[in-house]
Amino acid sequence: MNKQKILFVLGLSAAIVSLAQSLYVPLLPDMQRDLHTSLSMANLTVTLFTIAMAVMQVVLGPVVDRNGRKKILIPGMIIYVLATIGCTFSFSIEMLLIFRIIQGIGAAAVPLVAATMIGDVFEGKKRAESMATYQMILGISPAIGPLIGGLIGSVFGYSGTFVFAAASAVIIMFIALFVLPETKPTTSTLTGKQVGLNAFRRIFQSKTGRVVLLSGFVLYDVFYTFIVFLPMILESQYDLGAANIGFFSLALMAFNLVGSKLSGRLQSKIGTVKSLLWVSSSIVGCLVIFIFAAKLSLITLLLALMLTGFVNGLAMPVMPTLLSAEFVQERATAMGVYNFVRYLGMAAAPMIGSVLYLVGGTDLLIGVTAVFVGAVVIVTRQLLPSKGKQRA
């Protein structure tokens, strides 16, 4: 079994289906005109896809634990491909919304199974390094999705992006079919009923489970707060145009990917638990620095932004690594709950941030976000096992 090949195929599979979340975002105005609908309805096609993915994480987790990894992955990808083809030929906004929901349902299986299989295949330090590599590959998707979509859409329209999404998914699906083994542990003693409600109960009763879920919500809220509000900050404080704002957003994403890749090395050196504590504490410092740096100059703002993106990237692979080590028989269920919670963190960022930014601008927005992360640091210190019992 070539573990590195398995890791690459899993990462690429998750990245390709995740493209559907951002691929056609630059073409939403074109979609609005072609389907004779409102911009809010066009935006709803993005929202419903994300909601479907989030909800199905919790639904599919026990199914994957009970029935196997590959047995759920391939049907999920088939559903995704068929729904994407349906999106291509949708002639009304209502029809497109239905296929986007089905597309999200199919896509949900892929990142869930991918993270679970990595936990199955790798152990110890190799698991931490592999989760970091997987997170880096997955993170490329939102970074390049709008760029690819814009290039394709300028020639073939928004429907061309769905053709690209379907074709690329078919290719990686056949590769996964022949390359990936079934990795479900054969030593499981859990019955079907135990894999359900009892698994959820064990996850929420576990100290590590509670800390990881809270950390995932808050740290993804932090990252998406920057994604959503960075353009507003740059426009209001420095009167930058779209092209320059895009450069700053790219810098945030690029350093986040670098941090994700290096997270495995950090965990190997100081341990996964200590990494979570150290990185969370560092993010608080980065946010405080950003508040002051954003007012000084564009250069200091950029440097603080890159530092924040890098440290946040260090954190992202830590949480699934901890879950993989803590939960073996309920691994997919734990990953599903974690993915659902981090999606909630992404969704909460614009809602909470809009109120904070309207009331107190950048200072209040970033300041309250820093307080959230500070609370995570405190809770993490209280709930994680003592030094002698920490898991690598």
Residue 18, pLDDT above cutoff 90: no
Query: How far, in Å, CA of 380 to CA of 26, rounded?
Result: 39
* Residue closest to 37 by CA, chosen among 26, 28, 27: 28
Query: How far, in Å, CA of 116 to CA of 247, rounded?
Result: 34
Query: How far, in Å, CA of 241 to CA of 258, rounded?
Result: 26
CATH: 3.40.50.1820, 1.20.1250.20, 3.40.50.720, 3.40.50.2300. Which one for 3-180?
1.20.1250.20
Which of 16-25, 190-199, 327-336 has the lowest average pLDDT? 190-199
Burial 109-137 (b: 16+ CB within 10 A, else e): bbbbbbbbbbbbbbeebebbbbbbbbbbb
Residue 176, pLDDT above cutoff 90: yes
Query: What is the pLDDT at residue 391?
Result: 45
Cβ contacts of residue 376 below 8 Å, gap of 6+? 214, 215, 218, 219, 280
Average pLDDT score over residue span 156-163: 88
Question: Which class for 58: exposed (0-12), middle (13-18), buried (19 or more C-beta within 10 A)?
Answer: middle
Residue 173, pLDDT above cutoff 90: yes
Average pLDDT score over residue span 292-303: 94
Average pLDDT score over residue span 231-249: 83
Residue 308, pLDDT above cutoff 60: yes
Query: What is the pLDDT at residue 144?
Result: 80
Q: Are 103 and 20 in contact (CB under 8 A)?
A: yes
Average pLDDT score over residue span 291-320: 94
Tens digits of per-residue pLDDT, 71-93? 999 999 999 999 999 999 999 99
> Quick one: pLDDT band at residue 183, thresholds 50, 70, 90?
confident
Residue of 29 and 321 predicted with greater confidence? 321
The domains of the chain are located at 3-180, 199-389
> Quick one: pLDDT band at residue 387, thresholds 50, 70, 90?
very low
> Quick one: pLDDT band at residue 154, thresholds 50, 70, 90?
confident
Side chain identity at residue 272, one-letter code: T
- The Cβ-side half-sphere exposure at 52, using a 13 Å CA radius, reads 25
Phi, then psi, of 314 in degrees rounded to 5:
-60, -30
Query: What is the pLDDT at residue 384?
Result: 53
| pTM: predicted TM-score of the whole model, two decimal places | 0.85
Cβ contacts of residue 237 below 8 Å, gap of 6+? 294, 295, 362
Query: What is the pLDDT at residue 100?
Result: 93
> Quick one: pLDDT band at residue 157, thresholds 50, 70, 90?
confident
Mean per-residue pLDDT over the chain, rounded: 88
> Quick one: pLDDT band at residue 37, thresholds 50, 70, 90?
confident
Residue of 252 and 194 predicted with greater confidence? 252
* Residue closest to 217 by CA, chosen among 44, 70, 379, 43: 379
Residue of 105 and 347 predicted with greater confidence? 105
Average pLDDT score over residue span 242-250: 80
Query: What is the pLDDT at residue 47?
Result: 82
Residue 390, pLDDT above cutoff 50: no
CATH number of this structure's domain 199-389: 1.20.1250.20
Common-topology check for domains 3-180 and 199-389: yes
Residue of 368 and 243 predicted with greater confidence? 368
Query: How far, in Å, CA of 156 to CA of 146, rounded?
Result: 15
Residue 218, pLDDT above cutoff 80: yes
Query: What is the pLDDT at residue 150?
Result: 81
Average pLDDT score over residue span 321-336: 89
Residue of 192 and 148 predicted with greater confidence? 148
Residue 392, pLDDT above cutoff 50: no
Average pLDDT score over residue span 147-153: 83
Which of 67-71, 103-107, 186-190 has the lowest average pLDDT? 186-190
